Amino acid sequence: MTESKLREKICMFASSMFDRGLTHGSTGNISVRLNNDDILVTPSGSSFGRLDPNQIVKVTKDGKLIGNSIPTKELPLHQAFYETRGMKSGAVVHLHSTHSVAVSMLPDVNEDNILPSFTPYSIMLLGKVKLLPFFVPGDPAMGEAIKGLAGKRSAVLLANHGPVVSGKDLESSVNAIEELEATAKLALILKDAKPVELNENQVRSVINKFNIDWD
């Protein structure tokens, strides 16, 4: 796919998520890795609902910025996924989606796997979702925390902040982060209802059938 088409697709997916309330205002950011390891990334302070393909910033593999805008302050977070997950990581999406943020603030959660196993699809698209601690937005320590996972997780939830997902390409990353938000919504709806989750054998059958990374 050409770079111009990728720029258009970033704006298209961003607009779709904005219109459906998955992010708001000037929150959230998206990046896509090009074949030469340069990165296209949304600019700082931009709104998903009003992105222009020409505003997308290119960051070369040597760190040079190409474009008239400043990249999102969360760029180190994106770069950490590309660095540690290699060819498994072709795009990164970060949202401030309401239900995911709410789940990140609940007490007594499993920080190693914060989402319950309600459906096979969250397992298939996300694997285990790690809860990371709170960082001030733009803190490079977020990237270091991702590097500390050694490429073992494709999805994390930043406490009091929001989800970050990296997939093989832009579309799969968007699908996965939407699945994360939907599962978080289910978790809140069912929080006091004692729902029946998939049992260990059922979870393992999904992992085995779809060859899911599950440590």
DSSP one-letter string for 176-194: HHHHHHHHHHHHHHTTTS-
Catalytic site includes residue 178: no
How far is the C-alpha of 172 from the C-alpha of 124, rounded, in Å? 11
Which of 3, 8, 121, 179 is the catalytic position?
121
Pull the structure tokens for residue 170.
Answer: 């832009």
- Rounded to the nearest 10°, the torsion over CA 99, 100, 103, 104 is -140
Catalytic site includes residue 8: no
How far is the C-alpha of 55 from the C-alpha of 94, rounded, in Å? 18
Looking at this protein, which amino acid is placed at residue 188? L
Query: What is the three-class DSSP state of 122?
Result: helix
Distances in Å between the alpha carbon of 89 and those of 77, 117, 124? 13, 24, 16
CA atoms within 13 A on the CB side of 201: 0
Which of 74, 178, 179, 181 is the catalytic position?
74
- For the packed helices 3-19 and 170-189, what is the interaxial angle rounded to 10 degrees? 20
Catalytic residues: 74, 121
